[in-house]
Amino acid sequence: MYLGLDLGTSGLKGMLIDAEQNVLAIADAHYSVSNPHDGWSEQNPRDWIAAVEDIFAKLNAAVPSKMSALKSISFSGHMHGAVLLDKNGDILRPCILWNDTRSAKQAADMDNQTAFREISGNIVFPGFTAPKLAWVQDNEPEIFLQLAMVLLPKDYLRLWLSGNNVMDMSDASGTSWLDVGRREWSSDLIPASKMRREQLPALCEGTDITGNIRSDIAQKWSLPKSVKIVGGGADNAVAACGVGVFREGEGFVSLGTSGVLLAARNGFHPAPQTAIHSFCHAIPDAWYQMGVILSATDSLNWLSKITGKSAAELAGSVNAAAPSSVRFSPYLSGERTPHNDADIRGAFTGLGIGTETSDLAQAVMEGVAFALRDNYEALKSTGANLQSLIALGGGAASQYWVQILSDLLDLRIEVPKEGAFGAALGAARLAMIGAEKANPIDVLNKPEIAKVILPRSKFQASYEDAYQKFTMTYPKLKAMQ
């Protein structure tokens, strides 16, 4: 039996699978995000530990005989978060999350040093880990002086489960401290951000065994003492493992809280000027590139709060055959790809006296799709050649939304059959690969596909025209700031 733990921004999912990858049980636990100031996003790492214990309790109650045969555990986790520990392993402050933008100045200062882009292969974004530490040094120097170890969120779970400070390559790629091409910590970038090598954990591949479960945890939850803890990876890399995306030409689009367009790559092809992320994959000798928009379904959730209608109700109200005359720029939390702008904010244009809620919903869904088309153009400029995409995330339940994307990207999009796939399954698969020393090719198969969405040629011209108008919006919004 193999357990995948998917540490998300709002909750933890645990998925138990057997050697044939049958899903035996799934459990969820939830926790909150704190936003004490505008642009801040924090979480208490102790809440993650409580969530793991909740998961163990639920799985033990559901399938006790299966849990007693558990062989390994691995992880998926939200990237870039900074968990700061002192010399005793105690937490110094709440974790600063991936969508926290307070360190925009520090990120810009680092990005102006040519070594960061040249060695890491990426822009230093405000959400990355290194500028968060620079912000702490500038604004909370008493905490920075006590700093002994920096971990990413999922790796704090690893520390609690095994007692080992280890980080995998895919997650380390988003710190701005990794030489992503060489898959090793950079002796130049670490001191350039006023950090020391001993403040960073050991590195591993996502399929490596990094230790065994602590005996006291095994005893408490009636688990074998031989349970292996396997590397795991960053959420999108592990989601790619969950849907079998690891070869050149394969990719997925995720309509989740944020939006992601990911392309698997056989080599390292950095192009930081595009604001595309170029990261190590969660399996050895593989990389991936992705564009990220910060507000995908979050944009629809925002509209839901404003209108009092559920996101599902809003999405269901739209069934238009042509693009809306209302335009929406989905920059509610700033934007990553392609603009790298933490300060830009969203807008509606084209509103009229007759504009209705359904028009706003359509504009929001189209705006997200247009922003993902921006990502696609940036990906293509790096040499990525996607043949088709798999659709993931809650927004993929809307055939209308996926169809717009297919029309705009001119790509076949496959929607998996409802059920278990994505990051939790990917983590369980990594646990299996690590424990069994299996070949990833034999484990990372693709999910069963429920429907295939093809581009509609008769609508592509109108969506192309709408997209070109959308591209003119950002510079005008920027000029008004």
Instruction: Give residue 383's region: left, alpha or beta (phi > 0; psi -120 to 50).
Output: left
- Radius of gyration (Cα) for the chain, nearest Å? 22
Full-model pTM: 0.91
Which of these, 302, 299, 461, 443, lies nearest to 367 by C-alpha position? 299
Q: Establish whether 109 is a catalytic residue.
A: no
Query: In a 10 Å sphere around its CB, with 0-12 CB exposed, 13-18 middle and 19+ buried, how is residue 1 labelled?
Result: buried
The Cα 183–Cα 179 span in angstroms is 6
DSSP type of residue 227: -
Which residues have CB under 8 Å from 305's CB, separation 6+?
none
Report the Cα 179 to chain-centroid distance in Å: 20
Whether 110 contacts 124, CB under 8 Å = yes
Whether 51 contacts 12, CB under 8 Å = yes
Task: Identify the active-site residue in 6, 100, 168, 235.
Answer: 235
The Cα 134–Cα 206 span in angstroms is 27
The Cα 324–Cα 303 span in angstroms is 16
The Cα 97–Cα 87 span in angstroms is 22
β strands within 209-250, DSSP E: 209-212, 228-230, 233-234
pLDDT in tens, the chain (481 residues): 999 999 998 899 999 999 999 999 999 999 999 999 988 999 999 999 999 999 999 999 999 999 999 999 999 999 999 999 999 999 999 999 998 989 999 999 999 999 999 999 999 998 999 999 999 999 999 999 999 999 999 999 999 999 999 999 999 999 999 999 999 999 999 999 999 999 999 999 999 999 999 999 999 999 999 999 999 999 999 999 999 999 999 999 999 888 999 999 999 999 999 999 999 999 999 999 999 999 999 999 999 999 999 999 999 999 888 899 999 999 998 898 999 888 899 999 999 999 999 999 999 999 999 999 999 999 999 999 999 999 998 899 999 999 999 999 999 999 998 765 789 999 999 999 999 999 999 999 998 899 999 999 999 999 999 999 999 999 999 999 8
Residue 101 is predicted with a pLDDT of 87
Residue 419 is predicted with a pLDDT of 61
Residue 291 is predicted with a pLDDT of 96
Question: What are the angstrom distances between the C-alpha of 130 and each of 40, 96, 136?
Answer: 16, 11, 10
